[in-house]
């Protein structure tokens, strides 16, 4: 499973999604150009020290990303979009899917829509436009990992709440 960010333009959201990918053991793709430098302090603040542990691949363009993705012939591209009628909860995810999120300000262009294998939506109350991209990514990635049994095993920690008397 991978999470791809198409030309992200808000560093705090990108940092949050990259941190999530690191914590869940999911590879991440950043499709440039970004609306900020990848060294941006807001990205670093949101990603904290987790960014160094994230498996991030940078792609200089959409075409470069597609070219790199072709080497993984069985990998599907699943776009999270408000322009779909298929709820993400009804979509059958696979372990090798790449979940693609668009720019916060403009989504993705028509050629990206045309290139993906499927488009899913997070159902919302009528009249609402969209969720924060990092929130939507977390919801859909969580469902995809649940469906495929791909959540990482929890780290074994000693509980601060002892059952000994």
Q: Does the residue 158 lie in any domain?
A: no
Domain count, the chain: 1
108: in domain: yes
Parent domain of 27: 2-148
**pLDDT tens digits, residue range 13-25?**
999 999 999 999 9
The residues of the chain scoring below 50 in pLDDT are none
| pLDDT for residue 45 | 73
Beta carbons of 88 and 143 less than 8 angstroms apart: yes
What was the pLDDT predicted at 165?
54
The answer to whether position 26 is within a domain reads: yes
d(CA 56, CA 59): 10
Long-range contacts of 106-109 (CB under 8 A, 24+ apart): 107/81, 107/82, 107/83, 108/6, 108/79, 108/81
pLDDT number for residue 9 = 93
CATH number of the domain residue 125 falls in: 3.40.1280.10
Question: What is the pLDDT, as a whole number, of residue 35?
Answer: 84
């Amino acid at each position: 499973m991978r999470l791809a960010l198409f030309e992200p333009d808000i560093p705090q959201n990108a940092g949050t999604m990259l941190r999530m990918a690191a914590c869940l053991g999911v590879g991440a793709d950043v499709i440039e150009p970004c609306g900020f430098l990848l060294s941006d302090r807001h990205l670093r603040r949101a990603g904290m020290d987790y960014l160094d542990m994230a498996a991030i691949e940078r792609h200089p363009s959409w075409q470069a990303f597609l070219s790199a993705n072709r080497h993984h012939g069985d990998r599907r591209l699943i776009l999270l979009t408000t322009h779909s009628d298929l709820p993400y909860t009804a979509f059958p995810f696979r372990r090798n899917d790449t979940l693609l999120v668009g720019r916060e300000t403009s989504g993705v262009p028509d050629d990206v829509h045309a290139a993906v294998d499927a488009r899913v939506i997070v159902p919302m109350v009528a009249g609402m436009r969209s969720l924060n991209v990092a929130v939507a990514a977390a919801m859909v990635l969580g469902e995809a990992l649940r469906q495929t049994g791909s959540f990482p095993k929890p780290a074994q920690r000693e509980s601060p709440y002892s059952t000994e008397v």
